[in-house]
Structure 1
Amino acid sequence: MSSPLVLTLTCADQTGITARVTAFLFERGCNILDAQQFRDSTSDRFFMRVAFDPLGTNADELRGSFAKLGAEYAMEWKIVALDRARRVIIMVSKGDHCLVDLLYRLRVGELNIEPVAIVSNHPREVAIRTDIGDIPFHHVPVTKETKPQAEARVREIAAETEAELVVLARYMQIFSDEQSAHFAGRCINIHHSFLPGFKGARPYHQAHERGVKIIGATAHFVTADLDEGPIIHQDVERITHSDSPADLVRKGRDIERRVLAEAVRLFAGERVLMNGNRTVVFRG
Protein backbone atom coordinates (compact mmCIF):
# COMPACT_ATOMS: atom_id res chain seq x y z
CA MET A 1 0.00 0.00 0.00
CA SER A 2 1.13 3.53 -0.69
CA SER A 3 1.70 5.88 2.22
CA PRO A 4 -0.92 8.61 2.69
CA LEU A 5 -0.10 12.18 1.77
CA VAL A 6 -1.53 15.45 3.01
CA LEU A 7 -2.10 18.64 1.05
CA THR A 8 -2.41 21.92 2.94
CA LEU A 9 -3.07 25.24 1.29
CA THR A 10 -4.12 28.82 1.89
CA CYS A 11 -4.93 31.61 -0.53
CA ALA A 12 -7.30 34.48 -1.10
CA ASP A 13 -10.85 33.14 -1.13
CA GLN A 14 -12.23 32.50 -4.61
CA THR A 15 -14.99 30.37 -6.08
CA GLY A 16 -14.19 26.88 -7.22
CA ILE A 17 -11.11 26.12 -5.13
CA THR A 18 -12.53 23.02 -3.44
CA ALA A 19 -13.87 21.68 -6.74
CA ARG A 20 -10.55 22.24 -8.50
CA VAL A 21 -8.51 20.60 -5.75
CA THR A 22 -10.73 17.52 -5.40
CA ALA A 23 -10.96 17.16 -9.19
CA PHE A 24 -7.17 17.35 -9.39
CA LEU A 25 -6.84 14.44 -6.98
CA PHE A 26 -9.63 12.42 -8.62
CA GLU A 27 -8.15 12.80 -12.08
CA ARG A 28 -4.86 11.35 -10.82
CA GLY A 29 -6.48 8.35 -9.19
CA CYS A 30 -6.07 9.52 -5.58
CA ASN A 31 -8.53 8.60 -2.85
CA ILE A 32 -9.44 11.34 -0.36
CA LEU A 33 -9.35 10.11 3.24
CA ASP A 34 -10.21 13.33 5.04
CA ALA A 35 -10.89 16.88 3.91
CA GLN A 36 -11.46 20.07 5.91
CA GLN A 37 -11.74 23.66 4.80
CA PHE A 38 -12.37 27.09 6.26
CA ARG A 39 -13.02 30.57 4.94
CA ASP A 40 -11.99 33.42 7.25
CA SER A 41 -14.43 36.25 6.62
CA THR A 42 -12.21 38.80 8.37
CA SER A 43 -9.16 38.20 6.18
CA ASP A 44 -11.08 36.81 3.19
CA ARG A 45 -8.68 33.89 3.03
CA PHE A 46 -9.36 30.24 2.32
CA PHE A 47 -7.70 27.33 4.14
CA MET A 48 -7.80 23.64 3.28
CA ARG A 49 -6.31 20.36 4.47
CA VAL A 50 -6.78 17.15 2.48
CA ALA A 51 -5.38 13.79 3.50
CA PHE A 52 -5.40 11.28 0.67
CA ASP A 53 -4.08 7.95 -0.53
CA PRO A 54 -2.10 8.50 -3.74
CA LEU A 55 -2.77 4.85 -4.73
CA GLY A 56 0.66 4.52 -6.28
CA THR A 57 0.82 7.96 -7.84
CA ASN A 58 4.30 9.46 -7.44
CA ALA A 59 4.37 12.21 -4.81
CA ASP A 60 6.94 14.27 -6.70
CA GLU A 61 4.82 14.10 -9.84
CA LEU A 62 1.81 15.27 -7.84
CA ARG A 63 3.78 18.25 -6.53
CA GLY A 64 4.94 19.13 -10.01
CA SER A 65 1.43 18.93 -11.42
CA PHE A 66 -0.17 20.82 -8.56
CA ALA A 67 2.26 23.73 -8.92
CA LYS A 68 0.27 25.04 -11.90
CA LEU A 69 -2.99 25.06 -9.94
CA GLY A 70 -1.23 26.57 -6.96
CA ALA A 71 0.14 29.40 -9.09
CA GLU A 72 -3.27 30.04 -10.65
CA TYR A 73 -4.77 30.75 -7.23
CA ALA A 74 -1.57 32.23 -5.71
CA MET A 75 -1.63 29.53 -3.05
CA GLU A 76 0.78 28.82 -0.26
CA TRP A 77 0.74 25.04 -0.34
CA LYS A 78 2.63 21.83 0.29
CA ILE A 79 2.17 18.10 -0.19
CA VAL A 80 3.98 15.92 2.34
CA ALA A 81 3.91 12.37 3.65
CA LEU A 82 1.40 12.11 6.46
CA ASP A 83 3.04 9.23 8.32
CA ARG A 84 6.62 10.55 8.28
CA ALA A 85 7.88 11.43 11.76
CA ARG A 86 8.69 15.13 12.08
CA ARG A 87 12.22 15.85 13.28
CA VAL A 88 12.04 17.76 16.56
CA ILE A 89 14.43 19.52 18.94
CA ILE A 90 13.14 19.73 22.52
CA MET A 91 14.52 22.52 24.71
CA VAL A 92 14.22 22.44 28.51
CA SER A 93 15.52 24.24 31.60
CA LYS A 94 14.93 22.76 35.06
CA GLY A 95 11.33 21.60 34.77
CA ASP A 96 11.24 18.36 32.77
CA HIS A 97 7.56 17.41 33.16
CA CYS A 98 6.66 18.48 29.62
CA LEU A 99 9.69 16.69 28.17
CA VAL A 100 8.89 13.49 30.05
CA ASP A 101 5.28 13.62 28.85
CA LEU A 102 6.33 14.12 25.21
CA LEU A 103 8.70 11.15 25.43
CA TYR A 104 6.01 8.96 27.00
CA ARG A 105 3.46 9.87 24.33
CA LEU A 106 6.09 9.15 21.68
CA ARG A 107 6.75 5.73 23.20
CA VAL A 108 3.08 4.75 23.21
CA GLY A 109 2.55 5.97 19.66
CA GLU A 110 0.56 9.14 20.29
CA LEU A 111 3.04 11.51 18.64
CA ASN A 112 4.47 11.18 15.16
CA ILE A 113 7.79 12.85 15.96
CA GLU A 114 11.47 11.97 16.00
CA PRO A 115 13.40 13.83 18.71
CA VAL A 116 16.78 14.56 17.14
CA ALA A 117 18.20 16.56 20.07
CA ILE A 118 17.45 17.75 23.58
CA VAL A 119 18.96 21.14 24.38
CA SER A 120 19.18 22.71 27.83
CA ASN A 121 20.79 25.74 29.41
CA HIS A 122 21.52 23.50 32.41
CA PRO A 123 23.65 20.34 32.70
CA ARG A 124 21.84 17.08 32.07
CA GLU A 125 21.67 16.03 35.74
CA VAL A 126 19.95 19.32 36.56
CA ALA A 127 17.66 19.57 33.55
CA ILE A 128 16.58 15.96 33.08
CA ARG A 129 15.89 13.33 35.70
CA THR A 130 14.61 10.60 33.40
CA ASP A 131 15.96 8.23 30.78
CA ILE A 132 16.15 9.86 27.36
CA GLY A 133 17.59 6.81 25.64
CA ASP A 134 19.91 7.59 22.75
CA ILE A 135 18.54 11.07 22.04
CA PRO A 136 21.59 13.39 21.87
CA PHE A 137 21.75 15.89 24.74
CA HIS A 138 23.36 19.31 24.31
CA HIS A 139 24.23 21.56 27.24
CA VAL A 140 24.19 25.11 25.88
CA PRO A 141 24.62 27.50 28.83
CA VAL A 142 23.21 30.99 28.45
CA THR A 143 24.33 34.21 30.12
CA LYS A 144 23.66 37.80 29.16
CA GLU A 145 27.15 37.98 27.68
CA THR A 146 27.06 34.63 25.82
CA LYS A 147 23.46 34.66 24.61
CA PRO A 148 24.33 35.43 20.94
CA GLN A 149 26.80 32.54 20.84
CA ALA A 150 24.36 30.21 22.61
CA GLU A 151 21.58 31.01 20.15
CA ALA A 152 23.96 30.51 17.24
CA ARG A 153 24.78 27.06 18.64
CA VAL A 154 21.07 26.17 18.75
CA ARG A 155 20.74 27.22 15.10
CA GLU A 156 23.73 25.01 14.28
CA ILE A 157 22.15 22.04 16.03
CA ALA A 158 18.89 22.63 14.15
CA ALA A 159 20.75 22.75 10.83
CA GLU A 160 22.88 19.70 11.61
CA THR A 161 19.86 17.61 12.62
CA GLU A 162 17.56 18.99 9.89
CA ALA A 163 15.01 19.77 12.58
CA GLU A 164 11.55 20.75 11.40
CA LEU A 165 10.26 21.92 14.77
CA VAL A 166 11.73 23.36 17.95
CA VAL A 167 9.67 22.71 21.09
CA LEU A 168 10.25 24.92 24.13
CA ALA A 169 9.18 22.46 26.82
CA ARG A 170 9.46 24.95 29.70
CA TYR A 171 12.70 26.41 28.34
CA MET A 172 13.00 29.46 30.55
CA GLN A 173 15.05 31.69 28.26
CA ILE A 174 13.61 34.42 26.05
CA PHE A 175 14.58 34.17 22.39
CA SER A 176 16.14 37.24 20.79
CA ASP A 177 14.34 38.84 17.85
CA GLU A 178 16.90 37.22 15.56
CA GLN A 179 16.28 33.77 16.99
CA SER A 180 12.51 34.22 16.88
CA ALA A 181 12.68 35.25 13.23
CA HIS A 182 14.98 32.35 12.35
CA PHE A 183 12.52 29.78 13.73
CA ALA A 184 9.36 31.60 12.70
CA GLY A 185 6.47 29.19 12.19
CA ARG A 186 8.46 26.21 13.49
CA CYS A 187 8.99 26.91 17.17
CA ILE A 188 6.29 26.14 19.75
CA ASN A 189 6.35 27.45 23.31
CA ILE A 190 4.23 26.39 26.28
CA HIS A 191 3.23 29.34 28.45
CA HIS A 192 1.94 28.50 31.91
CA SER A 193 -1.03 30.82 31.67
CA PHE A 194 -4.20 31.20 29.62
CA LEU A 195 -2.94 33.93 27.29
CA PRO A 196 -3.42 36.80 26.73
CA GLY A 197 -3.77 37.05 30.53
CA PHE A 198 -0.83 36.94 32.94
CA LYS A 199 2.06 37.23 30.51
CA GLY A 200 5.70 37.03 31.52
CA ALA A 201 7.14 35.51 34.68
CA ARG A 202 5.32 33.81 37.59
CA PRO A 203 1.85 33.80 35.98
CA TYR A 204 0.41 31.43 38.59
CA HIS A 205 1.40 33.83 41.34
CA GLN A 206 -0.15 36.68 39.32
CA ALA A 207 -3.32 34.62 38.97
CA HIS A 208 -3.40 33.87 42.70
CA GLU A 209 -3.05 37.54 43.55
CA ARG A 210 -6.00 38.33 41.31
CA GLY A 211 -8.13 35.57 42.84
CA VAL A 212 -8.96 33.91 39.53
CA LYS A 213 -11.16 30.82 39.49
CA ILE A 214 -9.73 29.31 36.31
CA ILE A 215 -6.08 28.78 35.38
CA GLY A 216 -4.78 27.51 32.08
CA ALA A 217 -1.89 26.98 29.71
CA THR A 218 -1.25 28.12 26.15
CA ALA A 219 0.84 26.60 23.38
CA HIS A 220 1.78 29.17 20.78
CA PHE A 221 4.28 29.91 18.06
CA VAL A 222 7.26 31.95 19.18
CA THR A 223 7.53 35.49 17.82
CA ALA A 224 9.54 38.56 18.73
CA ASP A 225 6.58 39.78 20.81
CA LEU A 226 6.89 37.93 24.12
CA ASP A 227 4.00 35.52 24.77
CA GLU A 228 1.98 36.99 21.90
CA GLY A 229 2.62 34.50 19.09
CA PRO A 230 -0.23 32.78 17.21
CA ILE A 231 -2.05 30.42 19.58
CA ILE A 232 -2.26 26.72 18.68
CA HIS A 233 -3.96 25.13 21.68
CA GLN A 234 -5.21 26.06 25.17
CA ASP A 235 -6.83 24.34 28.12
CA VAL A 236 -8.04 25.34 31.58
CA GLU A 237 -8.77 23.96 35.04
CA ARG A 238 -11.00 25.33 37.76
CA ILE A 239 -9.49 26.30 41.09
CA THR A 240 -10.84 27.65 44.37
CA HIS A 241 -10.03 30.27 46.95
CA SER A 242 -8.32 27.61 49.04
CA ASP A 243 -5.65 26.91 46.42
CA SER A 244 -2.24 28.34 47.24
CA PRO A 245 0.29 29.48 44.61
CA ALA A 246 1.98 26.08 45.10
CA ASP A 247 -1.35 24.36 44.36
CA LEU A 248 -1.73 26.41 41.20
CA VAL A 249 1.79 25.47 40.09
CA ARG A 250 1.07 21.79 40.76
CA LYS A 251 -2.21 21.81 38.87
CA GLY A 252 -0.68 23.95 36.16
CA ARG A 253 2.03 21.42 35.39
CA ASP A 254 -0.64 18.92 34.36
CA ILE A 255 -2.31 21.43 32.04
CA GLU A 256 1.02 22.48 30.53
CA ARG A 257 2.09 18.99 29.55
CA ARG A 258 -1.19 18.04 27.88
CA VAL A 259 -1.55 21.38 26.05
CA LEU A 260 1.99 21.21 24.69
CA ALA A 261 1.59 17.59 23.62
CA GLU A 262 -1.59 18.39 21.74
CA ALA A 263 0.05 21.34 19.97
CA VAL A 264 2.95 19.14 18.89
CA ARG A 265 0.53 16.47 17.66
CA LEU A 266 -1.40 19.02 15.64
CA PHE A 267 1.78 20.44 14.11
CA ALA A 268 3.14 17.00 13.23
CA GLY A 269 -0.16 16.13 11.55
CA GLU A 270 -0.03 19.25 9.34
CA ARG A 271 -3.15 20.56 11.05
CA VAL A 272 -1.95 24.07 11.91
CA LEU A 273 -2.02 26.80 9.27
CA MET A 274 -0.91 30.37 9.87
CA ASN A 275 -3.50 33.10 9.51
CA GLY A 276 -1.66 36.35 10.22
CA ASN A 277 -1.28 36.61 14.00
CA ARG A 278 -3.75 33.75 14.45
CA THR A 279 -3.93 30.10 13.38
CA VAL A 280 -6.40 27.85 11.67
CA VAL A 281 -6.36 24.46 13.41
CA PHE A 282 -8.03 21.51 11.70
CA ARG A 283 -8.92 19.08 14.47
CA GLY A 284 -8.89 15.37 14.02
Structure 2
Amino acid sequence: MSSANTNNTETTLVALLHGPDQPGLVAKTSGWIYENGGNILHADQHRDMQAEIFFQRIEWTATAGKGLSSDGTLFKRFAENLGMNVRVANAAHRTRVAIFVSKFDHCFHDLILRWKSGDYHCDIVAIVSNHRDLEAAAQNYELPFHHIPVTAETKPAAEAAQLALCEKLGVELVIMARYMQVLSADFLGKATFPVINIHHSFLPAFAGGKPYHQAHTRGVKLIGATAHYATPVLDDGPIIQQDVARVTHRHSVEDLIRKGRDLEKIVLAQAVRWHLDHRVLIYGNKTVVFD
Protein backbone atom coordinates (compact mmCIF):
# COMPACT_ATOMS: atom_id res chain seq x y z
CA MET A 1 0.00 0.00 0.00
CA SER A 2 1.39 3.42 -0.93
CA SER A 3 1.99 6.12 1.64
CA ALA A 4 -0.52 8.34 -0.18
CA ASN A 5 -3.31 5.85 0.51
CA THR A 6 -2.21 5.44 4.10
CA ASN A 7 -2.42 9.20 4.67
CA ASN A 8 -5.95 9.39 3.28
CA THR A 9 -7.57 7.28 5.97
CA GLU A 10 -11.06 8.56 6.75
CA THR A 11 -12.17 9.30 10.31
CA THR A 12 -15.72 10.10 11.40
CA LEU A 13 -15.87 12.91 13.95
CA VAL A 14 -18.77 14.15 16.04
CA ALA A 15 -18.85 17.62 17.58
CA LEU A 16 -21.23 18.98 20.20
CA LEU A 17 -21.05 22.72 20.62
CA HIS A 18 -23.00 25.48 22.33
CA GLY A 19 -22.60 29.14 23.08
CA PRO A 20 -24.12 32.60 22.55
CA ASP A 21 -26.24 32.70 19.42
CA GLN A 22 -24.99 34.84 16.54
CA PRO A 23 -25.82 35.15 12.83
CA GLY A 24 -24.26 32.66 10.46
CA LEU A 25 -23.08 29.98 12.88
CA VAL A 26 -24.45 27.09 10.84
CA ALA A 27 -22.87 28.46 7.68
CA LYS A 28 -19.55 29.07 9.44
CA THR A 29 -19.23 25.57 10.90
CA SER A 30 -20.35 23.75 7.76
CA GLY A 31 -18.24 26.04 5.59
CA TRP A 32 -15.12 25.39 7.65
CA ILE A 33 -15.57 21.63 7.39
CA TYR A 34 -16.09 21.82 3.62
CA GLU A 35 -13.11 24.14 3.10
CA ASN A 36 -10.90 21.74 5.04
CA GLY A 37 -11.83 18.67 3.03
CA GLY A 38 -14.52 17.22 5.29
CA ASN A 39 -17.87 15.75 4.26
CA ILE A 40 -20.85 16.36 6.58
CA LEU A 41 -22.89 13.22 7.28
CA HIS A 42 -25.44 14.73 9.66
CA ALA A 43 -26.08 18.06 11.32
CA ASP A 44 -28.71 19.28 13.74
CA GLN A 45 -29.09 22.46 15.72
CA HIS A 46 -31.30 24.08 18.32
CA ARG A 47 -31.71 27.62 19.64
CA ASP A 48 -32.85 28.36 23.17
CA MET A 49 -35.03 31.37 22.46
CA GLN A 50 -35.09 32.60 26.05
CA ALA A 51 -31.41 32.20 26.86
CA GLU A 52 -30.30 32.98 23.27
CA ILE A 53 -27.94 30.01 23.25
CA PHE A 54 -27.08 28.06 20.10
CA PHE A 55 -26.63 24.28 20.21
CA GLN A 56 -25.35 22.05 17.42
CA ARG A 57 -24.39 18.46 16.79
CA ILE A 58 -22.43 17.93 13.60
CA GLU A 59 -20.98 14.67 12.28
CA TRP A 60 -18.54 14.50 9.40
CA THR A 61 -15.82 12.44 7.77
CA ALA A 62 -12.32 13.82 7.91
CA THR A 63 -9.52 12.61 5.68
CA ALA A 64 -6.00 12.75 7.07
CA GLY A 65 -3.69 14.89 5.02
CA LYS A 66 -6.45 17.26 3.82
CA GLY A 67 -6.24 19.77 6.63
CA LEU A 68 -8.43 18.00 9.19
CA SER A 69 -6.87 16.42 12.26
CA SER A 70 -8.26 12.98 13.10
CA ASP A 71 -8.88 14.01 16.72
CA GLY A 72 -10.81 17.17 15.87
CA THR A 73 -8.26 19.54 17.41
CA LEU A 74 -8.38 22.01 14.52
CA PHE A 75 -12.19 22.16 14.50
CA LYS A 76 -12.27 22.62 18.26
CA ARG A 77 -9.86 25.54 17.97
CA PHE A 78 -12.01 27.05 15.22
CA ALA A 79 -15.26 26.67 17.21
CA GLU A 80 -13.71 28.13 20.35
CA ASN A 81 -12.71 31.19 18.33
CA LEU A 82 -16.42 31.61 17.57
CA GLY A 83 -17.13 31.71 21.30
CA MET A 84 -18.43 28.14 21.44
CA ASN A 85 -17.94 25.47 24.09
CA VAL A 86 -17.13 22.37 22.07
CA ARG A 87 -16.46 18.68 22.54
CA VAL A 88 -15.22 16.53 19.65
CA ALA A 89 -15.24 12.73 19.63
CA ASN A 90 -13.97 10.08 17.23
CA ALA A 91 -17.03 7.97 16.34
CA ALA A 92 -14.87 4.85 16.02
CA HIS A 93 -13.72 5.02 19.62
CA ARG A 94 -15.24 2.37 21.88
CA THR A 95 -16.13 3.90 25.25
CA ARG A 96 -14.88 1.91 28.24
CA VAL A 97 -17.83 1.29 30.56
CA ALA A 98 -18.20 0.05 34.14
CA ILE A 99 -21.61 -1.07 35.39
CA PHE A 100 -22.37 -0.57 39.09
CA VAL A 101 -25.05 -2.92 40.46
CA SER A 102 -26.41 -4.18 43.78
CA LYS A 103 -29.03 -6.95 43.89
CA PHE A 104 -31.69 -5.91 41.37
CA ASP A 105 -30.79 -7.52 38.05
CA HIS A 106 -33.32 -6.31 35.44
CA CYS A 107 -31.31 -3.32 34.17
CA PHE A 108 -28.06 -5.28 34.52
CA HIS A 109 -29.22 -8.09 32.20
CA ASP A 110 -30.93 -5.72 29.78
CA LEU A 111 -27.84 -3.57 29.27
CA ILE A 112 -25.52 -6.53 28.77
CA LEU A 113 -27.83 -8.30 26.33
CA ARG A 114 -28.20 -5.12 24.29
CA TRP A 115 -24.41 -4.76 24.31
CA LYS A 116 -23.90 -8.37 23.26
CA SER A 117 -26.35 -7.92 20.38
CA GLY A 118 -24.28 -4.98 19.09
CA ASP A 119 -26.58 -2.14 20.15
CA TYR A 120 -23.85 -0.31 22.05
CA HIS A 121 -20.52 0.86 20.63
CA CYS A 122 -18.55 0.34 23.84
CA ASP A 123 -16.53 -2.15 25.88
CA ILE A 124 -17.87 -3.23 29.26
CA VAL A 125 -14.68 -3.55 31.28
CA ALA A 126 -16.05 -4.15 34.78
CA ILE A 127 -19.09 -5.08 36.81
CA VAL A 128 -18.78 -3.46 40.25
CA SER A 129 -21.09 -4.43 43.08
CA ASN A 130 -21.49 -4.03 46.83
CA HIS A 131 -23.05 -7.55 46.92
CA ARG A 132 -22.15 -10.90 45.37
CA ASP A 133 -25.65 -11.73 44.12
CA LEU A 134 -24.81 -11.08 40.45
CA GLU A 135 -21.28 -12.48 40.46
CA ALA A 136 -22.26 -15.78 38.82
CA ALA A 137 -24.31 -13.96 36.17
CA ALA A 138 -21.36 -11.69 35.34
CA GLN A 139 -19.09 -14.71 35.04
CA ASN A 140 -21.60 -16.36 32.69
CA TYR A 141 -21.39 -13.26 30.52
CA GLU A 142 -17.57 -13.52 30.75
CA LEU A 143 -17.36 -10.09 32.32
CA PRO A 144 -14.96 -9.25 35.19
CA PHE A 145 -16.79 -8.89 38.51
CA HIS A 146 -15.44 -6.76 41.35
CA HIS A 147 -17.00 -7.08 44.79
CA ILE A 148 -16.47 -3.94 46.85
CA PRO A 149 -18.63 -4.06 50.01
CA VAL A 150 -20.03 -0.77 51.29
CA THR A 151 -21.15 0.11 54.81
CA ALA A 152 -21.58 3.49 56.46
CA GLU A 153 -18.19 3.04 58.12
CA THR A 154 -16.34 1.76 55.05
CA LYS A 155 -17.97 4.00 52.40
CA PRO A 156 -14.99 6.40 51.96
CA ALA A 157 -12.54 3.49 51.58
CA ALA A 158 -14.94 1.61 49.27
CA GLU A 159 -15.38 4.63 47.02
CA ALA A 160 -11.61 5.15 46.94
CA ALA A 161 -11.24 1.53 45.78
CA GLN A 162 -13.92 2.05 43.12
CA LEU A 163 -12.19 5.16 41.82
CA ALA A 164 -8.81 3.42 41.78
CA LEU A 165 -10.30 0.50 39.85
CA CYS A 166 -11.93 2.81 37.32
CA GLU A 167 -8.69 4.72 36.85
CA LYS A 168 -6.73 1.48 36.39
CA LEU A 169 -9.20 0.22 33.76
CA GLY A 170 -9.46 3.55 31.94
CA VAL A 171 -13.21 3.78 32.55
CA GLU A 172 -14.92 6.56 30.58
CA LEU A 173 -18.52 6.01 31.72
CA VAL A 174 -20.14 4.51 34.81
CA ILE A 175 -23.71 3.24 34.61
CA MET A 176 -25.60 2.84 37.88
CA ALA A 177 -27.92 -0.03 36.94
CA ARG A 178 -30.00 0.13 40.12
CA TYR A 179 -26.88 0.44 42.25
CA MET A 180 -28.51 1.05 45.62
CA GLN A 181 -25.87 3.33 47.04
CA VAL A 182 -25.62 7.11 46.86
CA LEU A 183 -22.32 8.17 45.33
CA SER A 184 -20.79 10.85 47.52
CA ALA A 185 -19.86 14.34 46.45
CA ASP A 186 -16.24 13.35 47.02
CA PHE A 187 -16.54 10.41 44.59
CA LEU A 188 -18.27 12.51 41.92
CA GLY A 189 -15.82 15.35 42.37
CA LYS A 190 -12.84 13.07 41.83
CA ALA A 191 -14.37 11.01 38.99
CA THR A 192 -12.90 11.75 35.57
CA PHE A 193 -15.95 10.23 33.87
CA PRO A 194 -19.71 10.91 33.76
CA VAL A 195 -22.10 8.71 35.76
CA ILE A 196 -25.55 7.81 34.43
CA ASN A 197 -28.14 6.78 37.03
CA ILE A 198 -31.61 5.28 36.62
CA HIS A 199 -34.06 6.51 39.22
CA HIS A 200 -37.35 4.69 39.60
CA SER A 201 -39.64 7.70 39.49
CA PHE A 202 -40.56 10.55 37.20
CA LEU A 203 -38.25 13.17 38.66
CA PRO A 204 -38.50 15.65 40.27
CA ALA A 205 -41.38 13.74 41.90
CA PHE A 206 -40.52 11.16 44.56
CA ALA A 207 -36.77 11.58 44.78
CA GLY A 208 -34.84 9.45 47.25
CA GLY A 209 -35.78 6.02 48.59
CA LYS A 210 -38.85 3.86 47.92
CA PRO A 211 -40.41 6.08 45.23
CA TYR A 212 -42.99 3.46 44.23
CA HIS A 213 -44.20 3.33 47.83
CA GLN A 214 -44.32 7.13 47.84
CA ALA A 215 -46.28 7.13 44.58
CA HIS A 216 -48.76 4.55 45.86
CA THR A 217 -49.33 6.52 49.06
CA ARG A 218 -49.90 9.71 47.04
CA GLY A 219 -52.37 7.96 44.75
CA VAL A 220 -50.81 9.14 41.49
CA LYS A 221 -52.20 8.02 38.14
CA LEU A 222 -48.79 7.96 36.43
CA ILE A 223 -45.51 6.42 37.50
CA GLY A 224 -42.23 6.91 35.72
CA ALA A 225 -38.51 6.34 35.44
CA THR A 226 -35.73 8.86 34.89
CA ALA A 227 -32.21 8.45 33.55
CA HIS A 228 -29.96 11.33 34.54
CA TYR A 229 -26.34 12.25 35.14
CA ALA A 230 -25.43 11.84 38.80
CA THR A 231 -24.47 14.99 40.69
CA PRO A 232 -23.73 15.66 44.39
CA VAL A 233 -27.38 16.64 44.90
CA LEU A 234 -29.40 13.40 45.14
CA ASP A 235 -31.53 12.66 42.05
CA ASP A 236 -31.10 16.23 40.80
CA GLY A 237 -28.68 15.84 37.88
CA PRO A 238 -29.33 16.74 34.23
CA ILE A 239 -32.11 14.52 32.87
CA ILE A 240 -31.38 12.49 29.73
CA GLN A 241 -34.58 10.47 29.28
CA GLN A 242 -37.90 9.82 31.03
CA ASP A 243 -41.01 7.75 30.44
CA VAL A 244 -44.27 7.00 32.24
CA ALA A 245 -46.94 4.31 32.60
CA ARG A 246 -50.54 4.75 33.73
CA VAL A 247 -51.71 3.22 37.00
CA THR A 248 -55.02 3.19 38.86
CA HIS A 249 -56.32 2.74 42.39
CA ARG A 250 -56.46 -1.00 41.68
CA HIS A 251 -52.66 -1.31 41.42
CA SER A 252 -50.71 -2.38 44.49
CA VAL A 253 -47.16 -1.31 45.34
CA GLU A 254 -45.99 -4.62 43.83
CA ASP A 255 -47.84 -3.77 40.59
CA LEU A 256 -46.13 -0.39 40.47
CA ILE A 257 -42.73 -1.99 41.00
CA ARG A 258 -43.38 -4.52 38.22
CA LYS A 259 -44.54 -1.85 35.77
CA GLY A 260 -41.70 0.41 36.82
CA ARG A 261 -39.03 -2.17 36.09
CA ASP A 262 -40.08 -2.29 32.44
CA LEU A 263 -39.82 1.50 32.29
CA GLU A 264 -36.43 1.51 34.00
CA LYS A 265 -34.94 -0.86 31.42
CA ILE A 266 -36.23 1.10 28.43
CA VAL A 267 -35.33 4.53 29.80
CA LEU A 268 -31.82 3.56 30.89
CA ALA A 269 -31.14 1.73 27.62
CA GLN A 270 -32.10 4.78 25.57
CA ALA A 271 -30.08 7.17 27.71
CA VAL A 272 -26.97 4.99 27.46
CA ARG A 273 -27.33 4.72 23.69
CA TRP A 274 -27.66 8.49 23.27
CA HIS A 275 -24.62 9.07 25.46
CA LEU A 276 -22.48 6.56 23.59
CA ASP A 277 -23.57 8.07 20.26
CA HIS A 278 -22.52 11.55 21.46
CA ARG A 279 -26.05 12.94 21.26
CA VAL A 280 -26.32 14.48 24.74
CA LEU A 281 -25.16 18.03 25.37
CA ILE A 282 -25.19 19.21 28.98
CA TYR A 283 -25.55 22.87 29.90
CA GLY A 284 -26.38 24.03 33.39
CA ASN A 285 -28.67 21.43 34.92
CA LYS A 286 -30.35 20.63 31.62
CA THR A 287 -29.58 18.60 28.52
CA VAL A 288 -30.15 18.98 24.82
CA VAL A 289 -30.56 15.53 23.27
CA PHE A 290 -30.09 15.32 19.51
CA ASP A 291 -32.17 12.29 18.49
What CA RMSD, in Å, does the superposition of the two structures yield over aligned residues? 1.8
Residue range with higher mean Cα deviation, 232-241 or 188-197: 232-241
Pick from 204, 228, 244 the counterpart of residue 220 of structure 1. 228
Q: Distance in 1 between matches of 2:71 and 2:198?
A: 36
Is residue 164 of structure 2 the alignment partner of residue 156 of structure 1?
A: yes
Deviations 1:115-151 (A, max 9, x none): 111100012xx13563553321110101111111111
2:69 aligned with 1:60: yes
Q: Give the letter for the 2:81 counterpart.
A: E
Check whether the contact 1:184–1:223 (CA below 8 A) recurs between aligned residues. Answer: no
CA drift at 1:4: 2.0
1:211 aligns with 2:219: yes
Aligned residue in 2 for 1:261: 269
Q: Which stretches in structure 1 are left out of the alignment for 5+ residues?
A: none
Matched, 1:94 2:103: yes
Gaps of 5+ in 2: 1-8
1:185–1:222: 8 Å Cα contact kept in structure 2?
no
- Per the TM alignment, residue 162 of structure 1 is displaced from its structure 2 partner at its CA by 1.0
Aligned amino acid, residue 184 of structure 2: S
1:168–1:84 Cα change, 3 Å: same
Matching of residue 82 in structure 1 with residue 69 in structure 2? no
Equivalent position to 1:252, from 244, 260, 266: 260
Q: Which deviates the most, 9-18 or 99-108?
A: 9-18
Cα separation, 1, equivalents of 2:67 and 2:171 = 25
Q: What are the Cα deviations for residues 16-63 of structure 1, in whole angstroms up to 9, with x where unaligned?
A: 221111011101221111101111123322111111122455763663
When normalised by structure 2's length, the TM-score is 0.91
Q: Which residue of 1 aligns with 2:134?
A: 127
Provide the rounded CA distance (Å) in 1 between the counterparts of 2:168 and 2:101. 19
- SS of residue in 2 equivalent to 1:4: strand
Deviation of 1:261 (Å): 0.7
Q: Which residue of 2 aligns with 1:42?
A: 50
Identity of aligned residues (%): 46
Length, aligned pairs only: 281
**1:194 aligned partner:** 202
Please point out which of 6, 9, 14 is paired with 2:14. 6
* Aligned amino acid, residue 231 of structure 2: T
The TM-score normalised by the length of structure 1 is 0.93
Partner of residue 108, structure 1 = 117
Secondary structure in structure 1 of the residue aligned to 2:72: helix
| Equivalent residue letter for 2:246 | R
